[in-house]
Amino acid sequence: MNLNEILLSDNVVESINENIDYLLQIIPEIKNMIGFEHKHPHHHLDVWNHTLLALSLSENDFDVRLCLLLHDIGKPFSYQDEDVRHFRNHAVVSANMSKIILKRLGFDDDYIKYVCYLIEHHDTQISNEQIVNDYDLCLKLLKIQKCDALAHHPDKLEKRKKYIDEIYKELVLNKEVDSHEWK
């Protein structure tokens, strides 16, 4: 089984678990995520299990699932232990690591740039200007953000759900504008 088949499996988590040795062979950086505790009140799972939960919530879309697989790969390399563990700049670290990983896996430069953009922005708010400038990219980013948000601690979801709902409404509202404005 290859990465494409694993990520497009109907049960993506089962497929990942059944093919973990292969995944660790092609993306050895994943090993650092396994068992790496967040030690943060917004997370109730380690980084790897958070990633698997986010993947389990995703639609069967290779781009979304690839981004979710790699979105927190930089956390073990970007944490700050304070009263509460923080992961400042983890999205940038994850995007930079993903660029190296995706080059190694043979993806083309334009696709790598696209995926790394989504990873780097998986944790930043989408603006109305971004929606107007690139609706499809924002919709893809929102799908990633939604899966990531819903994989956080259940007691800490309200603010994230509200943001996702607001942006989704904005996307739907803007989509109703004449379609030539979206290309």
Q: Which residue ranges make up each domain of the chain?
A: 3-182
Using the predicted structure, report yes or no on whether residue 129 has a pLDDT greater than 70.
Answer: yes
What integer best gives the mean pLDDT of the chain? 91
**Is the predicted pLDDT of residue 181 greater than 60, yes or no?**
no
- Tell me the mean pLDDT in the region 61-88: 90
64: CB partners within 8 A, 6+ apart: 58, 140, 143, 144, 147
For the cut 80, the answer to whether the pLDDT of residue 1 exceeds it is: yes
At residue 42, the pLDDT reads: 85
The CATH class, in words, for 3-182 is mainly alpha
**What are the distances in angstroms from CA 66 to CA 6, 52, 102?**
10, 12, 10
Residue 178: the pLDDT is: 40
DSSP 125: P
Tell me what the mean pLDDT of segment 10-14 comes to: 98
pLDDT recorded at residue 83: 78
Q: Say which range, 36-40, 56-60, 102-106, has the weakest mean pLDDT.
A: 36-40
Q: Is 27 helix (H, G, I), strand (E, B) or coil?
A: coil
